[in-house]
Amino acid sequence: MKAAVYYETGGPEVFRYEDVPDPEVPADQVLVKVEAVSIEGGDTLGRAGGDLFAVPHIVGYQCAGTIIGAGAQVTTLAVGDRVVTVGIDGSHAELRAVPEGFCWKIPEGLATEEAACIPVAYGTAHDCLFEFGGLEAGQSVLVQAGASGVGIAAIQMAKQAGARVLATA
């Protein structure tokens, strides 16, 4: 399969697009045919100087696509399901093997391309606003970088929670 990889950290010039072996699919994982990816800030930070868990390192935290294989222990997902996935690497490839617990079914009516951008941005915004920030209805919140993926998610979630939202961009 083709994948975006690098062998050492550094600037954008370390990227390669090349053939790598298809991923193995353990019993608790699914094999996803990748149809859309999301480029996250962590992808850039990792490429610039993060740990390489394997060489070549397959780029990418997040992607969406269709399940084309499932391990024997997978119980909530099936071949043919459209899913969005997260993980520390491996999303910027034609195929991705990922644990069942790191996948979510894409609801009917939501495009695969849109779903590919949701978990990291909305998960980060939720943690910042509610888990760490303790945001409650009636409070005010300032969202820095309101035009970013996390910023847009934070604005939407804070408004839905009944907060007064101020944003910079």
Predicted confidence band of residue 42 (pLDDT cuts 50, 70, 90): confident
Same domain? For 12 and 91 the reply is yes
Same domain? For 64 and 8 the reply is yes
Other CB atoms within 10 Å distance of the CB of residue 156: 13
Q: Where are the beta strands (DSSP E) in the chain?
A: 2-6, 16-19, 29-38, 57-58, 62-70, 82-86, 95-99, 103-105, 140-143, 164-167
Residue 81 pLDDT exceeds 90? yes
Beta carbons of 35 and 112 less than 8 angstroms apart: yes
Mean pLDDT of 66-82: 98
% pLDDT > 90, the chain: 90
Same domain? For 39 and 75 the reply is yes
Same domain? For 110 and 139 the reply is no
Which residues form the domain of 96?
2-115
Same domain? For 58 and 106 the reply is yes
Same domain? For 131 and 159 the reply is yes
Residue 103 pLDDT exceeds 90? yes
What's the whole-model pTM score?
0.87
- Residue 54 has a pLDDT of 86
Same domain? For 128 and 97 the reply is no
Same domain? For 78 and 123 the reply is no
Alpha-carbon gap, residue 129 to 154, rounded angstroms: 7
Predicted confidence (pLDDT) per residue in 19-38, tens digit: 999 999 999 999 999 999 99
